[in-house]
Chain A
């Protein structure tokens, strides 16, 4: 919403400076986004008289000018063809910032002649592209006067970011009223004189739209007018706020739109067939609109029509067919109310952003319809002549009065600041409310018709606080009602935080990637629910909710590799989606490693990433998440985006806690990446939460006084037997004594027959009762060998 200072002053009697006004606007919630003050920007540029323009002694195209600046005579070298003795121009002294060149003007010597400033062109002032010569002013322009004032450029333009609730401030008068309430001046009265009708309108109005779509439509026929250019004052006003002057009639409608948020429409009455009808459009009807675009209507729009066709979309835009031209001599004025919701819907459906829609969808002052009709008629008659008919009225002013109770202490309760009851009343009254004070001090407030946004007591409190100033609300520290015994994060959230820092500590860099991805990729990674496809994606490669984070990280690996960084590890902790239901969103820790796991180094053998890197990451995440990692089952059945022979799942009973492994070469090919890349996905929600025990104590630690003993065993087994079965068998052989089993060697080759493998175990025995004897050790060794043989068919290697 743009306005000029002088336009504001049409409504507000004030002595306040521009800065004060801007400060007050922002403090009122009418945030000033920018101020263009050319009087200030161009202050150094003044009217000057060229006393003499003599030829330059050393250059044909230059002139040496003696210039009267009003405060002395200076010498300037000028290259403009129109520089001549006796003219008046615009002078800039040395040191001036020249907007068109973005340079500070320096004293110079041009071809041996000193130059102390310059006479400027419009381009140099940043006013236009005109650079054929210097600006020429009228002969009576006073020497030394600021150029901006002479040129009518001294009216600062204020740009306000208007919040959607303030329909009233979509007109300059509403802004003036707020400022007046805040003590920045007084609101000037606005005269509404009825224009007597001299004949009955030959055009009538019928409303055949659903209840509420167009509650009131006031029209008036004006005949015998002349539609030419509007006067300079009106053109200047509109130009300053960014509207292009078109013709007197159009400019008048724009004036009312900006001046008092009262959009109007003027039809060329000779193009209206039969009369005006407001009805819902029929599907397939068309409109050539004034913005130069053609629209095919879908059938629910509130249309302003004549007896044959659609003339315009109510509250949004008019049509070319009935628009005013230079030849227009009879018009029909429309001043109406249209339903904000329907207006917004139609505008959005057809993508039409108009100044009218902007105001109608925020809601207009229902009481301003008749006033607007009279005021607009008066201005049309004044600028275009003609005679006006009597008003034609369809519908009625809708009910808008409502009363709201405001308790005297409510401002303090909610706002935390004391505002005296008298001041509360003054503020509300200044904003247009009528306030009746009851015996109990409770005020009964009727908001004005232009403030449809004031609906309840809290709104009244806001009005009082806002005008009183938010900066007067004291800063009060938050009081803690009780000792905080819980940490801010619950156990599940703490677990997520712990997994994040654990994975980073393992050398993975944390990434954050989109929650959506291309539907084809999502399908490859298991997306099945059609409810997870975006209806209006921002681009085709971000059109489905991700079923897995892996694809995003794989793509990131590719991007980094393309930049020359093929060896990396990334992880992300975030949501994946199984269904649109709240429980269809799962928290997943996902990571990838690509390229070299251990780089070439003088002390260590280099190696590439492999599935066990991913397994270690997954297990580390599960460990800190509280999963019983040692007792998890490992199964070789990861989903099909993993390498079928080099991947697995970590399971706790029936639930899959994690998947890991080398990624399927086809997945990498599709992403344009050379492998191998390994990855893991840990489903944190599937990890059982620790049981809530009473208190924070842990189970008592049991420390054996006897030293553990380690014994090694090597078994020969069928190649297909999973190592985990061997380890489980060894562990199960004596649950009391066997504390740990580690696989320390895997061997295939000479000494082990083909199809077999040798696995070597280091078994840790932890006695708790007494030191083990040789017989004890032999017995437990035998039990281990027997258990292994039974479970795996493995025999002790000899």
Chain B
């Protein structure tokens, strides 16, 4: 008799089409007034021996039915969830909500890149004002008055200061050398990135541009170190292991000896490529700090010596990233910024840049 009840209840469990039907089956079988429960209640009227046997069988039946219900419940829940998920289907080909991170200007990125490289060599970053006086921009840097070298600088002038000083927009970052040496004691090892100004505007000149200056002053740094420093920088910056460098004697009032540095390139087919291709491209000026400059800053030139270098930031950025026109750096053309700019988290460093 229990067998037929079991088959009947199991069939009802299997036939339950949804969770509420299943719950009805559970109540019918195992609820307070359920059929199995009813049979359990009848056990009280039986003798001890029979009650034990019957009770065991009923308990077995009860557990079996409960297990079947739970299994069925799991199945039905999965089915119900599948149906609900199917109903919730969306068109994932629709575009996501727009999020547009901006871009970092190539000048800033280049400054960060070169700062990372020079930081490895123990340089720190120094800065100074764009509006300078004649003393810091020229005189202290050993430019004789009226010397032709001053003329090469196409200086922008401002009205004279109240104390008669001739005010101007710095034509190079070198005045910060002076400001640094006037305040810091050797050893000095700084780079100086910043805005610079010259009154010139054509295909290859803009009235404002950026330079980075380097200055090292200690008791033993010589031209071999200057070469070592710049070879390491240029190779690291352009990411070319065998990039050749050529040092040519040149002239700057504030260095002696002075040199210009060329890097290897190719101009074949009108396309400029950086690397060991046999041709040369001028990239920076450098030299040993002129004794007069050291003395102008109160540094004993018989004890201290060092080097300085300077280069155009837009120029090296143009060369590295293939940007053809200097003037476009300052036009704030959205299309240009998006194309040549860098994502904000691309922060140059020597670990993974």
Interface positions of A (Cβ within 8 A of B): 26-29, 31, 163-166, 340-341, 344-345, 348, 361-362, 412-417, 456-459, 461-462, 465-466, 470-471, 473-481, 484, 486-490, 493, 497, 500-516, 530-539, 542, 545, 552-553, 556, 559-560, 563, 565, 568-571, 573-575, 577, 580-582, 584-585, 598-599, 601-604
Contact = CB atoms under 8 A, between A and B. Distances in A.
B6 interface: no
B159 A533 contact: yes
A473 B332 contact: no
Nearest to A545: B131
Nearest to B161: A580
A565 B220 CA distance: 56
B332 A505 contact: no
A415 B223 contact: yes
Interface residues of B, number: 95
B178 to A, nearest CB: 12
Given A344-B148, A580-B158, A602-B95, A475 B102 contact: no
A163 B255 CA distance: 13
A476 B222 CA distance: 9
A560 B338 CA distance: 13
Nearest to B94: A602
A604 B97 contact: yes
B282 to A, nearest CB: 9
B332 to A, nearest CB: 4
Contacts of A510: 102-105, 108, 337, 341
A194 B68 CA distance: 132
9 contacts: A26-B248, A28-B249, A344-B148, A345-B146, A416-B224, A470-B248, A568-B334, A577-B130, A585-B131
A507 B195 contact: no
Given A559-B331, A559-B333, A500 B104 contact: yes
Interface in B222-256: 222-225, 227-229, 231-232, 246-251, 256
Contacts of B108: 500, 510, 512, 573
B201 A501 contact: no
B297 interface: no
Interface stretch (B24-32, B36-44, B75-83, B116-124): B116-124
A505 B329 contact: no
Given A490-B125, A513-B332, 14 more contacts: A341-B145, A341-B146, A466-B257, A473-B224, A476-B225, A481-B187, A488-B119, A500-B104, A512-B105, A514-B330, A515-B169, A538-B201, A559-B331, A569-B102
Contact of A505 (B225, B247, B344): B344
Contacts of A344: 146-148, 151
A507 B347 contact: no
A361 B151 CA distance: 12
Given A500-B104, A585-B131, A507 B332 contact: no
A603 B159 contact: no
Contacts of B229: 478
Nearest to A417: B224
A414 B304 CA distance: 10
Contacts of A505: 101-102, 344-345
Contacts of A361: 146, 148
Nearest to A505: B344
Given A415-B257, A531-B161, A575-B130, A601 B95 contact: yes
B113 interface: no
Contact of A507 (B100, B167, B187): B100
A307 to B, nearest CB: 30
A287 B18 CA distance: 114
Contacts of A340: 146
B288 A414 contact: yes
Contacts of B102: 503-510, 569, 571
Q: Which 4 A-B pairs have the closest CB atoms?
A: A416-B224, A29-B249, A462-B257, A163-B251
Contacts of A534: 156-158, 169
A577 B229 CA distance: 35
Given A459-B256, A511-B337, A559-B331, A575 B195 contact: yes
B259 to A, nearest CB: 6
Contact of A531 (B124, B167, B227, B344): B167
A348 B95 CA distance: 64
Contacts of B281: none
A602 B200 CA distance: 50
A29 B250 contact: yes
Contacts of A509: 102-103, 334, 337-338, 341
Interface of B: 94-95, 97-105, 107-108, 112, 115-116, 118-119, 121-125, 127-131, 144-149, 151-152, 156-159, 161, 167, 169, 187, 191, 195, 197, 199-201, 207-208, 216, 218, 220-225, 227-229, 231-232, 246-251, 256-260, 288, 290-292, 305, 329-335, 337-338, 341, 343-345, 347
A239 to B, nearest CB: 27
A586 to B, nearest CB: 11
Given A473-B224, A480-B121, A560-B333, A507 B99 contact: yes
Nearest to B305: A414
B303 to A, nearest CB: 11
Contacts of A512: 105, 107-108, 329-330, 332
Contact of B103 (A412, A458, A504): A504
B70 to A, nearest CB: 35
B338 A535 contact: no
B344 A556 contact: no
Contacts of B291: 456-458
Contacts of B191: 488
Contacts of B256: 456, 458-459, 461-462
Contacts of A29: 248-251
Interface centre among A341, A471, A534, A575 (most CB of B within 10 A): A534
Contacts of B147: 164, 344
A501 B158 contact: no
B148 A362 contact: yes
B152 A164 contact: yes
A91 to B, nearest CB: 30
Contacts of B195: 515, 574-575
Contacts of B260: 31
A164 B149 contact: yes
Contacts of B207: 514, 516, 538, 542
Given A414-B222, A488-B119, A536-B156, A577 B131 contact: yes
Contacts of A345: 146
Contacts of B99: 507
B7 to A, nearest CB: 53
Contact of B218 (A481, A515, A559): A481
A506 B330 CA distance: 22
Contacts of A489: 115, 124-125
Nearest to A493: B125
Contacts of A599: 98
A26 B250 CA distance: 9
A470 B287 CA distance: 11
Contacts of B248: 26-27, 29, 31, 470
